[in-house]
Structure formats: C-alpha cells, structure tokens
C-alpha cells in the first residue's frame, strides 16, 4: 500500500491575490512593484518546497 504524504499546511495555501496598482507615478509604482515581487517570491518558494516535499 502506498504511503500518503501530507504536506505542511503552509505549503498548500493558495498564493495571495496581487494588489492593484492605485496610481501611475513612481511614488505608487515602486512600492507596488516591490510588494508584488515579495509576494511572488514567497509563493514561488512555497511551491518549490511543496514540490520538493512530494519528490
């Protein structure tokens, strides 16, 4: 009988929705882009960890 692997709960959470860009100047775009990059990197790391867990 195959072994069932239950991954950690934090690895199977969906990625958060990305924030909407509220303005068109650098004062809005730079902080927004840094936030989006951070969210993407966190999500990417969780998916890699999940993939590594299931290998």
Do 12 and 49 form a contact (C-beta atoms < 8 A)?
Answer: no
- What three-state secondary structure class fits 11? helix
pLDDT tens, 16-54? 999 999 999 999 999 999 999 999 999 999 999 988 887
Q: Give the pTM.
A: 0.77
Torsion angle of C-alpha atoms 18, 24, 26, 31, degrees rounded to 10: -20
- SS3 (DSSP) at 2: coil
């Amino acid at each position: 009988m195959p072994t069932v692997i239950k991954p950690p709960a934090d690895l199977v959470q969906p990625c958060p929705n990305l924030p909407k860009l509220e303005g068109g100047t650098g004062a809005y775009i730079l902080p927004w882009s840094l936030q989006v990059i951070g969210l993407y990197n966190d999500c990417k790391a969780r998916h890699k960890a999940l993939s590594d867990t299931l290998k």
